[in-house]
Amino acid sequence: MGGRKIKVVVVVVMIFMASIVFAQSNAPYPASTTLSGVTWDHAHVITLAPGSDLWPMTWADDGNVYAVGGDGGGFNGNNDTCRARTTLTRITGNPPSITGKNLSGCMADGTGCSEGNVHHDAACDSPHATGWDGVPDAILAVGNTLHMIPWIFTDPPTRKMYHTSNFGQTWTSNNWVWTYSTGNFSPNAFLQFGKGYSGARDTYVYLIGQKVGSVGAYLSRAPIASLSTQAAYEYFTGTSGSPSWGSWANATPIFYATDGNNNGLNMAYFPALGRYIATALHGVASDDPTDTPIQALGVFEAPEPWGPWKTVYYSDNWGNYGTRHGLSNNISPKWISSDNKTFYMTFSGPDYDSFNLIKGTFTLGTPAGAIPNVPTNLNVTK
């Protein structure tokens, strides 16, 4: 009996290992030799702010995390209470002991709230309003100034950058937009560095986005002092000994997917590892053929924001969270451990419509069963 049990265990382990290889074999990049995988603590996901989704985060110079949630009441609210299109929240503490306070969103007098019968509660009412008709895609703190990009519900949709130097008491905006039309650049995330943008590679702010209608991710940058100047933005156009920057017409993708949609790349710098870590969903969602499943997650690393990329983790059934569409996966630099081996990441979607925070732990080195024979020179249409 004992020997038979051992054989069964061996078979199960072999099947499990085979499933890992199979799930990762369609990854767009070869296996990393620096980081060989991620262990996820699915049993202890922190779930707060029911009804609000998206939740891009940034680490400001005051030591707090600032996050923006969409279509809900933010922290201590829900879909009906304190509901706003965009809610700016200050998050204090470190996981698992974090608390949030809404700063800008839905006010007690109805200003900034979503249309309809919105209820109010002192626990989630914001002292200031955001007010635009759009949901958040990206946020970045440079010092204690926050820069935020929402998706605006115009026809066609647009993205626009807003700025606040007083944590949401007042907002200013660019007088131009990124229009979501085929062939245009449309930003969806800021590259995150350390506290208040400390440890940044240079004096530029980097925007990750997509070429509308393409599966590639593209990179734009502008000087920190010129984020409101449209002409200041330039685009990554390739490397030939050193990276080159130029016009959008000459831009080349920094990342691409090969098995379906690629609806957004999020990226943070891990200084102890000397690596840029990117997260992205892939594939085709069951509820929307233009979107990606929440459980189809990839994690990638590179020495530069434009690559060359290697695959750290790639799964079609991450956490078994389902095949309906997922939203962005954001890592907060504040909650990266000093050795950079552990981190916390948000995720959300229609079945997980809340602030969901999960802990990930990197495994170092290359394991048995690494991603086999993935080509490195797949063709990409610009």
Residue 18 corresponds to which tokens in the numbers above? 């085979």
Determine which helix (DSSP H) or strand (DSSP E) holds 16, and give its type and residue range. helix 2-24
pLDDT by residue for the chain (382 residues), tens digit each? 333 333 333 333 333 333 333 335 589 999 999 999 999 999 999 999 999 999 999 999 999 999 999 999 999 999 999 999 999 999 999 999 999 999 999 999 999 999 888 999 999 999 999 989 999 999 999 999 999 999 999 999 999 999 999 999 999 999 999 999 999 999 999 999 999 999 999 999 999 999 998 888 999 999 999 999 999 999 999 987 789 999 999 999 999 877 667 668 999 999 999 999 999 999 999 999 989 999 999 999 999 999 999 999 999 999 999 999 999 899 999 999 999 999 999 999 999 999 999 999 999 986 544 443 333 333 333 3
pLDDT at 241: 77
What are the chain's domains?
A: 29-363 (2.115.10)
Extract long-range pairs of 232-240: CB within 8 Å, 24+ residues apart. 233/207, 235/185, 236/306, 239/306
C-alpha gyration radius of the chain: 21
Quickly count: other Cβ atoms within 10 Å of residue 69's Cβ: 33
Residue 11 corresponds to which tokens in the numbers above? 């078979």
Residue 150 corresponds to which tokens in the numbers above? 């929402």
372, burial (CB in 10 Å: exposed 0-12, middle 13-18, buried 19+): exposed
Query: Rounded to two decimals, what is the model's pTM?
Result: 0.89
Nearest to 311 by CA among 120, 104, 29: 29
pLDDT at 367: 52
pLDDT at 372: 37
State how far Cα 225 lies from the chain centre.
24
